[in-house]
């Protein structure tokens, strides 16, 4: 598959002429989901779920469909009947030639006083795992981990331990819009040196084969 990093938590996967997009939110490009055959959304926070981006994708292609958790699906199902599918932990499905397994149930703790919302992660073709805003560990090996590198709910020791626990062949940064250029070398050095796997990051718009 060809993996293209979009801004923040959004990624595009392409194979055999089909495209799957994960988490086109407010921090990603306005056309991040346009051209997608399949869109996956991990949870309802606006940096992962932007209704205008999803509507643009579905209106551009009458065959495009969305798979997501109920809190997001309920906001879109009426406008696009039959094209928005609700999933949860343990589900598996095939869409546009992509095999997807769903893992996880809750968003990471931001603060004990803030109620936790639902969050799911997606393992695509048994290879690429996007956890959304959680440090979910799938029950099978992961080739490429999309690593939420910096967030209000995490610290770098947790990020490093997460890489160690998942043990992917490679980890590529996502959830990085709040990470300044001054701090990036620190994160690169510490995650790369302590995570125990090949760690890298892509500038939005750049691609790699996975």
14, two tokens: 């392409």
Contact 90, 102 (CB under 8 A): yes
pLDDT score recorded for residue 183: 94
pLDDT score recorded for residue 159: 98
Q: How confident is the model at residue 121 (pLDDT cuts 50, 70, 90)?
A: very high
pLDDT score recorded for residue 98: 98
pLDDT score recorded for residue 173: 98
Q: What is the mean pLDDT of residues 193-210?
A: 96
| Half-sphere CA count of 170, side-chain side, radius 13 A | 13
pLDDT digits (tens, 9 = 90+) for 48-81: 999 999 999 999 999 999 999 999 999 999 999 9
Contact 57, 32 (CB under 8 A): no
> What are the structural domains, with CATH classification, of the chain?
2-209 (3.60.15.10)
pLDDT score recorded for residue 26: 97
Question: Dmax of the chain from CA atoms?
Answer: 48
Q: What is the mean pLDDT of residues 4-11?
A: 98
pLDDT score recorded for residue 193: 96
pLDDT score recorded for residue 71: 95
pLDDT score recorded for residue 101: 98
Average pLDDT for the chain: 97
**pTM (two decimals):** 0.97
pLDDT score recorded for residue 3: 98
Percent of the chain with pLDDT over 70: 100
Q: Where are the alpha helices (DSSP H) in the chain?
A: 51-60, 70-76, 156-166, 184-194
pLDDT score recorded for residue 40: 98
DSSP state of 67: E
pLDDT score recorded for residue 106: 98
CA distances from 55 to 35, 37, 47, 77, 158 (A): 12, 13, 16, 11, 35
């Amino acid at each position: 598959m060809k993996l293209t990093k979009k801004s923040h938590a959004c990624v595009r996967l392409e194979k055999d002429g089909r495209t799957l997009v994960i988490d086109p939110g407010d921090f990603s490009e306005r056309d991040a989901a346009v051209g997608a055959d399949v869109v996956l959304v991990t949870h309802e926070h606006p940096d992962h779920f932007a209704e205008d981006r999803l509507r643009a994708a579905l209106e551009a292609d009458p065959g495009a469909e969305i798979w997501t958790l109920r809190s997001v699906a309920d906001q879109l199902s009426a406008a696009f009947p039959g094209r928005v599918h609700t999933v949860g932990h343990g589900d598996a499905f095939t869409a546009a030639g992509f095999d997807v397994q769903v893992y996880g149930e809750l968003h990471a703790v931001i603060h004990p006083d803030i109620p936790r919302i639902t969050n799911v992660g997606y393992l695509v073709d048994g290879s690429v795992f996007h956890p959304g805003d959680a440090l979910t560990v799938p029950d099978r090996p992961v080739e490429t981990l999309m690593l939420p590198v910096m967030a209000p709910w995490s610290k770098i020791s947790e990020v490093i331990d997460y890489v160690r626990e998942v043990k992917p062949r490679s980890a590529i940064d996502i959830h990085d819009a709040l990470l300044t250029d001054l701090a990036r070398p620190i994160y690169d050095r510490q995650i790369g040196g302590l995570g125990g796997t090949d760690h890298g990051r892509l500038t939005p718009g750049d691609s790699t084969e996975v």
